[in-house]
Every structure is written in structure tokens, then in C-alpha cells.
Structure 1
């Protein structure tokens, strides 16, 4: 309110003094204005239930518009922009690594948070600086020298992601202390659902725009990128304003002054959190060995247009949206590790299955195959992203989450950033290599081919990624989290939810279930197995009594 009243006073004074010399424009940056903004962003001693609910709604809107920024200005669009400027594979790998390597800035950001103890203020200032670069991205297509424009693209991406990383450090700690622990899973699920719904529409819009300009092959005049980044900047302004309205609880009293290494050493001394860091580092390295090059693979090796690439992205987001609430419920009911035990292997299988896309000759069959694969990948990634984010917050102590989450992000991002750089550097090496498998049947009538698989170029990356992911799953097995159950329990719950959802969607009639005898047979078989296990346990106990 102080900020709004101060702005009103400035406006009223301007209206009263129209016949007087106009005040200088930097009156808006006077000490009073700065104090008003600082007071508006200051932490609150107490956040009541009403303020909390209002803040959670603002976080939903922030996520929605932030997703618009991501859909229009990063990911596939950024890769298409780089390809339009003539970027080689090494630059594509570098662009994929920049957002990950800049996470290293979370280390000094921890000291900044501990020193200023104003996480909302740090987040808003850093986010504002990061998003000011978006209009500069929009100017790059107007530069005649594409090589110079590509260099500026890399520089702007570094600035953009660097300040986003600083914001993420303070944001994670801020939200960790704001959202009650028993609402974390449901909150992040709902937040992602709202964001994904808007992101799907924006991704389709961007895909059709890129397809019309044939930007991936260097065609078009590049005006489409100017429009996309300008629209992204408008969404960024709304997102930043919504985030600024979210209340921030006071941080606990400061501890004795500690060095950066002392702060980051605490999570490394925690055996269980150290196990989480090992899993996250190996998982991020595995995934980022392949996924950053999907767009290049689709466009250059499979010959698909950017419209289809964005369509696959939308299919993945739609599948993500459909199952996200279920993953959130399973996360709250069992544990995040239980969700990871199911979702992570499924995601690895999808990456490995990408190898077979290059073996499909028909264009329609290829598009159908990739669409189905992206649907499964979207469902799996929903569980992975939700669980990995929530488990780090859950295992971090409530009053010391900043250092724990920063250490996790720092090490995982360093490993993730190394993967695409190595991939980009080795892309030309694998482009000249091929591994073939054939299963033949030879008889007097001739030779018949039963199976043939040819692995070349990007296919190697997908198989290497899946192999490293198996090691990540091994590290996950050592993680201890309360409520963890076996994988088959979670799978059974997912199948049950899916079956119930299908019946509800097929008909609102309650009596329709008997029409599907398979459901009754499954339930009957489950009860039979349960009774058999109970009888076996009873016989075992009776045998022990007889032995005594």
C-alpha cells in the first residue's frame, strides 16, 4: 500500500503542476520510491491463513505466465533460433549446458540470502534483470551478420539463465518456508497443471509460427522470433508482478557468521541427503546426454519440420497434465521415492526406444510412433519432475533449506551441464559410426530377414543415456524416505486409478462395472493371493510354535 500511495502522490503532483517545469523522469527512482518498493517486498513476521491462500493463488498465476515465457522463449524455440542462425552441434550442446552450468551461481546466492535475509526481494530483483534480456533477444534477427547474432544469443542466454539461477535459490527457500509440508505435493501438482495447460497452447502457437517460416532450415526472415520474444516479455512482466505479491515469512534468527563452504558442507555431511545428491547428479547427467538433442535429431536425421516437433512437445505436456494429479496423490500417500521407482525407469525406456524411430520408413507411422512415445515420456517425466523437486524440499530441514537445496542444485546442475557439452563435442564422431544387428534365416529357398537394427549418430546418445540412467536407479535404491513402498504397490495403485477413471469416463452409470469381467477377475486374483500369503504366514508361525 505504501508503494501505491507514493505513486499516487507523484501522479497528483504532476497533474497539479502541468504549467510548471516537468519533473525529471528519475523522480520515480527517488529514495522514497525505493524505500516504498523495499517495504512492499519486505518479509512479514506472520503470514495468516488468508494471506497464505492469496499467496498460493498468486504463485499459480506466476507459474502460468512463467510457463508462457518458457514455451515461447526457451527449449525448442531457442534451439530453432540457434539453427536459424547457423549453429553447429557444439553450440547446440553449449546452449543446453548454459542453464545448467549457471546454477553454480546458487552457491554465492546462498551467502546473499543469509546476509540480506530478504528472499522475496532477491528473487524479484534477479528475475527482473533476467527478463529484461528478452527484448534484446527480439532484436537479434534484425542483425545482418548471423555469426555476430549467434554470439550475442549465447551471451544473452548466459545473463538470462544466470540471474534466473540466483532467483531460484532464494525462491526455493522462500516457498519451502511458506507452503505447509502436508500441502507440498498437492500444491506443486496443481501449480504444474495450470502452467502446463497454458504452455500447451503456447507451444502449438510457436510451432505453427516456426513451421510457417521454415526456420529450422535457415529459411524465413526471422521476424517470428522477434514476435515470440516480445510476447514472452509481456508474459514475464505479469509473472514477475504476481510473484512480487506472494508473502514471505521471516527467516529464523541468523546463526553465527559462516563461510560459503561451511553452509554447503552441512548437506554433504548428511548421509541421506548425500545419497539424494548422488542420485540427482547421475540422473541429470544421464537425461541431459540425450534430451537436449531431440530437436536436432527430429529435424536433421528424421527430416521432420518444427511444427511436428512442437506437436510432440504438446502431446508430452498433455500426457503430463493428465497424470500429474495422480502422481501428486501417490507422492503424498506413499513417498517421492516410490514415485521415482516407477516413473524414472519408464522415462529411461522411452529414451532408449527413440532408437527405433530411425528404422521406420513410413512418415505417418513415424509420426504415430513418436507421438505415442512422447505421451509415455510425458507421463513418466511428470512423476520424475514432481518427485525430485518435492523430495529435496522434504529431506531438507525447514529452517535450513537454502543451503541444502542449493547444494543439491549445484552438484546436479554441474553434472547435467557437462553432459550436453560432451554430447556436442562427440556428435561428429558418432555421425561417422554405425552399429548394425541382423537376425537372418537361411534355407535352400533363400535368406529371410527376421530382425534388423541400425544404430547411428544420435542413436548412440540415447542408448548411452539409458545405460547411465540404470546407475542412477542404483543410487536411488540407497535413499531413505518415510513411507516408501515397493514398486509393484505403486503400479497396482496406478492401474487401479486408471481402471476406475476409464469406467467413469465410459459411463456415469454405477452398474456398468459388471460388464467388464476382467476387473472382477483381477480383484478376485488379488484377494486369492492375499489369502494365500496369509495362510503361508499362519503355517510359518505354527511351525515356529511346534519347534519351541
Structure 2
């Protein structure tokens, strides 16, 4: 009969074996899923334009999927309680792949109501992403050893960034060629087919991974418990002011955000490759500047970064009015990346600092995200209404300036409203008492997905070590889009 030492050694070897295989497959899955994000939501606005979306419909493209995605994340914990964690994630990934297949088929089919069908598919796409997200974070948190999290997610970041950028640029080239041949629909069909293949591969790799907590969840989890937690969080005055500030800014940004793609593709007549390069300018700037903002906020506090970037963000739409030169627009996008990287990082750290000690960070983050999605939905629809109304008004005054007039109208209005939000909320936000922090806050980044509100978004997490060099739990869980 084997003694206890042999049993423990066998268990350690078995755990080491499945852990190595699971982490290896997780890195492979990162590359597969990034091909989906790089070829799908990176081109959502451009795809809607190619389907003939009107100015009003672009507001729905920007707002409705974000709103349903946020709702999906709120109900995710309750819904997943009826499945094992891995089973739930894999099923959602497969369904998302099918949604992407239908997007590709839509490009070839091109029915009369193609835009509305695409909006419905985009709702499903974002819904499945957000159903997966909380459980993927928990899964990775349970299997990646704390001492290896920094190296693991840094490697994952490099892998996904290279894959995403490569596919993004190649996708722009493919669309440019198909446009030149008068077959843009074929380019989008191929892109979404490739994206679906990436997601199917991702689902297969997820199924091959080991989940140590793959038993069914507690069947008695009630959605009302989550709602009660949200109510308690909302009673916190500091958190309430912060959430209203972030959500209001996102809503004002959403007024103009969908129309930058319209302006570049329809007014300036950029090729898809030129459109991609402009987006990449923002990506690179974000990636470079996030480390700078992280060091700056650690030294001087997050509120200073919030104030500076909140004063910079309002002027960004206004800068597009001064020149249509391609080089100038790349510089504007680079400035946009600088501003949004600081704003995203400082506001996320600020949320961690203001939440009550030992409270559930996920509850606060989910509530803030849901509120932001609601404001984005309202802002995007308002932007569509404004563009349509301004176009009709210009026609009534017999001013035939095409799309330029309505688009510039929302650019100017978004600038004014962003400025008003900053002016109203910033004086009300106090510098919170910073909790005891580790010696070093090391920020790890990965390119997430192209967001209709702020362009290319970067997911990030912090890996921390205390002064005694002992591992501790991450204050922010891995923000992987899946």
C-alpha cells in the first residue's frame, strides 16, 4: 500500500502535468480568440457602413450591443449557476462563433434589412462575450499560480497583441483589395469566416483545458442577491459621484464616436487599410503611454491624471475639424491614445481606492459598467438623432454639404458636453485615502477589442508584490475579453 509521501508526490506530479498543459493551451487559445476580435469587432463600424447604415442606424450599432452586453454580464453569475464553469464558457464560445458565421453570411446575402440584422447579431456577439468574461477571470485566477501570474499574462499580452495587430492590418489590406475589385462583400465574408474559425478553435482549446472547479455551481444562487449588493454599493456617495462622472463622460463620447468611421470612410474616402493604420496609431500610443501613466499615478495620485485627461478628452473631436490631412489625423489619433490610456488607467485605480475596504470589487465594477452602458446607449441614440435632424435642417436651408455638416455638428456638440461633464463633476471628486499599496504596481496590458466608443481598447491587470515579497491577491482580476 503506498504511503502518504508517495500519494502526495503523485498528486503533485499530476497537478503539474495538467497545469502545464492547461497553461499552454490557454496561450494557444489567446491567439485563436484574438483572430476573432481582430477580424470582427475591429471592423464593426466599417461593416455597418458597407451594409448601407444610415447616420441614425450608426447610433444603434454603437449603443445597443454595449447595453445588452452589460446586462449579460449582470446575469452571468446567476445563469452560469446551472452549468459547470467550463461547460458554460465553451457553450457560449460556440454560440458566439455561430453568430460570427451568420455575420459573414449576411455580407454575401445582403438582404434589404441587412443593417438591422447585423445590429441583432452584434447584440448576440457582445452578449456572449460578457457572459463568458466573469467566469473566464475566475477560471484563470484559480489555475495560474500567483508567483507566475505576471510572467503568464505578460506572455499572453505579447502573443495576443502580435496576433491582433497582424490580423487587423491584414484584414485592412484584404478589404482594400476587395473594394478595389468591387467585391467588398467578399472581403467581409472572408474576414468573418476567418474570425469564426478562430473562435471555433478557441472553444475546442477551452474544452481541452483543465478546470479544477468544474463541478456545478450552487443552484440556489438568486439574482436578487446581486441586486441587493448593487443597492448597497450605490448608497456610497463617493462611488455614486464617480460612477455618474464616468458614465456621463462615456455617454457624451458616444454621441460622436460612431461617426469617426463614417467621416474617414465616407467623407475622406480612406481605404480600409488607411482606416486601420489610423486606428493602429491610437493602439501604439496607448501601449507606450500606459506605463508612463501608471508610474505618474502611483507617485502623484490618480485624481491628477483623471483631471488632466478629462480636460484633454473634450477637445479631441474638435481637432478633427481643422484638417483632413492624413498625417494630421494620425497625430490626432496618437493624442487620443495618450488621453484615453491615462483616463482608463486612473479611473480604474480610482475605483479600487474608493470602494469600502474588503468589499467585493467585482460588484462595484459591474455596477459602474452597467451604468456606463446605459449612458452609452442613450448618447449613441442621441447622436444618431442629432445627425439626422441636422442633415434635415441643412437641406431645409438648402445647404448641400453632404455628410460633413451633420458629422461636424455632433463633433462640436460632443466637445461641449464632454467639457460640461468635466466642469461639473471634477470638483466633486475627492482624492480618496489611498490604501496601503505594494512597493510596485506592475501594469500588464493586452489589446482588447475595437470599441465603438473609444477605438481600440486595452485590457489590463495589476500584478502586485508586497514589501515582504510575498504574493498576494491581485486587486484587479485579469481583464481578458475572450
Indicate which of 406, 409, 427 corresponds to 1:457. Answer: 409
CA distance in 1, matches of 2:159, 2:347: 19
Alignment correspondent of 2:254: 288
Alignment correspondent of 2:105: 139
Seen in structure 2, the aligned counterparts of structure 1 residues 320 and 188 have a Cα distance that, compared at 3 Å, is: farther
Deviates more, 1:457-466 or 1:226-235: 457-466
Alignment correspondent of 1:237: 200
Deviates more, 1:185-194 or 1:134-143: 185-194
The answer on whether the counterparts of 1:350 and 1:377 sit within 8 Å (CA) in structure 2 is yes
SS at match of 1:289: helix
CA distance in 2, matches of 1:291, 1:396: 34
Alignment correspondent of 2:326: 367
Unaligned runs of 5+ in 1: 1-43, 435-453, 485-489, 491-548
1:473, CA displacement in angstroms?
4.5
1:83, CA displacement in angstroms?
1.5
Deviates more, 1:128-137 or 1:408-417: 408-417
CA distance in 1, matches of 2:219, 2:357: 18
Alignment correspondent of 1:260: 223
CA distance in 2, matches of 1:386, 1:180: 25
Alignment correspondent of 1:378: 337
Seen in structure 2, the aligned counterparts of structure 1 residues 481 and 238 have a Cα distance that, compared at 3 Å, is: farther
CA distance in 1, matches of 2:282, 2:221: 44
The answer on whether the counterparts of 2:38 and 2:168 sit within 8 Å (CA) in structure 1 is yes
Seen in structure 2, the aligned counterparts of structure 1 residues 359 and 291 have a Cα distance that, compared at 3 Å, is: same
Q: Kindly name which structure, 1 or 2, has the bigger radius of gyration based on alpha carbons.
A: 1
1:86, CA displacement in angstroms?
1.2
The answer on whether the counterparts of 1:173 and 1:401 sit within 8 Å (CA) in structure 2 is no
1:463-482 correspondence to structure 2 within 5 Å: 463-464=415-416, 466-467=418-419, 470=422, 471=424, 473=426, 477=430, 481-482=434-435
Seen in structure 2, the aligned counterparts of structure 1 residues 209 and 166 have a Cα distance that, compared at 3 Å, is: same
CA distance in 2, matches of 1:133, 1:392: 34
The answer on whether the counterparts of 1:196 and 1:321 sit within 8 Å (CA) in structure 2 is no
Pair 1:71-2:34 in alignment? no
SS at match of 2:255: coil
1:205-220 correspondence to structure 2 within 5 Å: 205-214=170-179, 220=183
The answer on whether the counterparts of 2:19 and 2:210 sit within 8 Å (CA) in structure 1 is yes
Larger RCO (CA within 8 A; separation ≥ 6):
2
Alignment correspondent of 2:285: 319
Cα-to-partner distance string for 1:260-310 (whole Å, 9 max, x where unaligned): 233232244142655554344234323323323210122334443333221
Cα-to-partner distance string for 1:231-272 (whole Å, 9 max, x where unaligned): 111221233344445554549998995642332322441426
The answer on whether the counterparts of 1:344 and 1:380 sit within 8 Å (CA) in structure 2 is no
CA distance in 2, matches of 1:231, 1:396: 45
Cα-to-partner distance string for 1:5-63 (whole Å, 9 max, x where unaligned): xxxxxxxxxxxxxxxxxxxxxxxxxxxxxxxxxxxxxxx9xx97886676555544444
CA RMSD, Structure 1 to Structure 2 (Å)? 4.4
Alignment correspondent of 1:122: 88
Alignment correspondent of 2:462: none
Pair 1:423-2:383 in alignment? yes
1:151, CA displacement in angstroms?
3.0
CA distance in 2, matches of 1:374, 1:397: 38
Cα-to-partner distance string for 1:416-442 (whole Å, 9 max, x where unaligned): 2222121112112344779xxxxxxxx
CA distance in 2, matches of 1:343, 1:193: 27
Compute the TM-score of the two structures, normalised by the length of structure 1: 0.63
CA distance in 2, matches of 1:187, 1:142: 40
1:6-17 correspondence to structure 2 within 5 Å: none
1:26-65 correspondence to structure 2 within 5 Å: 58-65=25-32
Alignment correspondent of 2:321: 358
Alignment correspondent of 1:108: 75
CA distance in 1, matches of 2:318, 2:232: 41
1:313, CA displacement in angstroms?
0.7
1:149-168 correspondence to structure 2 within 5 Å: 149-168=114-133
The answer on whether the counterparts of 1:185 and 1:329 sit within 8 Å (CA) in structure 2 is no
CA distance in 2, matches of 1:192, 1:340: 27
The answer on whether the counterparts of 1:104 and 1:414 sit within 8 Å (CA) in structure 2 is no
The answer on whether the counterparts of 2:93 and 2:200 sit within 8 Å (CA) in structure 1 is no
1:410, CA displacement in angstroms?
2.2
Seen in structure 2, the aligned counterparts of structure 1 residues 234 and 138 have a Cα distance that, compared at 3 Å, is: same
Indicate which of 85, 92, 113 corresponds to 2:51. Answer: 85
1:183, CA displacement in angstroms?
7.8
Indicate which of 195, 204, 207 corresponds to 2:160. Answer: 195
Unaligned runs of 5+ in 2: 1-10, 395-405, 442-482
1:438-457 correspondence to structure 2 within 5 Å: 456-457=408-409
1:480, CA displacement in angstroms?
5.1
The answer on whether the counterparts of 2:278 and 2:330 sit within 8 Å (CA) in structure 1 is yes
SS at match of 1:87: coil
1:78, CA displacement in angstroms?
1.9
